[in-house]
């Protein structure tokens, strides 16, 4: 769903998505692929992707650091690196088990990024609701274990509680909700891995964590985004192959028109 929305609404070229036949042997490689998508989303969204030069830098730094954490295997549990990779019947895809362990955000119906009082208040209210949810789940698990329908090591209530307490919930959420990535990263993830800082200017303190090449890429992106803000193209085709196909159609249409004109000219000459 997230990938679909990035292409449909975020201007992400389909060619920047993982290949349809791509497979992932580890949880960390899958999370890294999702981190790369979030970076490509920032790069390719043509309009309304940034508000200013510093906003662009802030978003670039967040995505680079998130990808670094994924590459360093810090966003997933090393004990679960090789699985299990659970099959999710609701959305019909296999994913790292950490996705199943993350408690469902929909316990409050409203997503954290849309909560009127902000993410921190959402966290407070959600935690209260989660306790009720996990208690009900544990009761059901106890019954299923007594009836022989579930093994002790198949409980979800414990891993869900641990996911919430450790902050892994927010990693899985940020990886799969690209339009909410920035708020989630700076309020819930950066602090966990890089220590306390003022959220508003945190990106400036994290610049030293980028290498020279990445900082150069950031400034080039800033320059391009500022230029795009000035032109505000209303319609564009982000996929090179699609653009080429459209040009081919134009050429074919032009050839058809020229052929018709030639036929009309010959007919007019013949009967004149």
Q: What is the pLDDT of residue 254?
A: 81
Q: What is the pLDDT of residue 54?
A: 95
Q: What is the pLDDT of residue 255?
A: 80
User: Which pair of tokens denotes residue 272?
Assistant: 């004149």
Are 41 and 6 a contacting pair, CB within 8 Å?
yes
* pLDDT per residue rounded down to tens, the chain (272 residues): 899 999 888 888 888 999 888 889 999 999 999 999 999 999 998 888 899 999 999 999 999 999 999 999 999 999 999 888 777 776 677 888 999 999 999 999 999 999 999 999 999 999 999 999 999 999 999 999 999 999 999 999 999 999 999 999 999 999 999 999 999 999 999 999 999 888 788 999 999 999 999 999 999 999 999 988 888 776 566 666 666 667 777 887 788 777 777 776 666 565 55
Which residues, at least 6 apart from 260, have a Cβ–Cβ distance to it below 8 Å? none
Classify burial at 24, counting beta carbons within 10 Å of its beta carbon; exposed 0-12, middle 13-18, buried 19 or more: middle
Question: pTM value?
Answer: 0.80
Alpha-carbon distance 85 to 266, whole Å? 69
- Per the DSSP assignment, residues forming a β-bridge with 95 are 86
Alpha-carbon distance 100 to 81, whole Å? 14
H or E element, residue 250: helix 240-271
Q: How many whole angstroms from its chain centre is CA 26?
A: 18
Alpha-carbon distance 48 to 37, whole Å? 18
Q: What is the pLDDT of residue 52?
A: 94
For residue 11, say if its preceding peptide bond is cis, omega within 30 degrees of 0. no
Q: Is 116 left (phi over 0), alpha (psi -120 to 50) or beta?
A: alpha
Q: What is the pLDDT of residue 91?
A: 63
Q: What is the pLDDT of residue 234?
A: 65
Are 45 and 11 a contacting pair, CB within 8 Å?
yes
- Residue 88 has φ and ψ, to the nearest 5°, of -100, 105
Q: What is the pLDDT of residue 125?
A: 97
Are 88 and 94 a contacting pair, CB within 8 Å?
yes
User: The dihedral of CA 242, 243, 244, 248: what is its sign?
Assistant: positive
């Amino acid at each position: 769903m997230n990938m679909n929305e990035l292409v449909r609404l975020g201007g992400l070229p389909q060619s920047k998505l993982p290949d349809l036949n791509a497979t992932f042997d580890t949880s960390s490689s899958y999370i890294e692929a999702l981190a790369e998508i979030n970076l490509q989303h920032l790069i390719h969204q043509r309009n309304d992707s940034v508000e200013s030069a510093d906003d662009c830098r802030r978003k670039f730094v967040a995505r680079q650091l998130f990808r670094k954490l994924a590459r360093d295997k810090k966003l997933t549990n090393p004990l679960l690196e090789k699985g299990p990779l659970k099959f999710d019947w609701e959305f019909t895809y296999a994913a790292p088990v950490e996705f199943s362990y993350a408690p469902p955000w929909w316990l409050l119906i409203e997503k954290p990024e849309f909560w009127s009082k902000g993410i921190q208040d959402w966290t407070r209210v959600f935690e209260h609701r989660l306790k009720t949810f996990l208690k009900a789940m544990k009761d059901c698990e106890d019954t299923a274990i007594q009836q022989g329908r579930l093994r002790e090591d198949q409980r979800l209530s414990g891993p869900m509680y641990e996911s919430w307490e450790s902050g892994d919930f927010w990693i899985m959420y940020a990886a799969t909700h690209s339009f909410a990535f920035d708020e989630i990263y700076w309020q819930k993830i950066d602090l966990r891995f890089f220590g306390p800082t003022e959220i508003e200017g945190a990106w400036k303190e994290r610049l030293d964590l980028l290498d020279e090449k990445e900082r150069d890429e950031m400034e080039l992106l800033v320059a391009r985004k500022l230029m795009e803000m000035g032109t505000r193209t209303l319609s564009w085709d982000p996929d090179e192959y699609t653009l080429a196909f459209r040009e081919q159609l134009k050429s074919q249409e032009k050839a058809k028109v020229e052929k018709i004109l030639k036929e009309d000219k010959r007919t007019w000459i013949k009967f004149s």
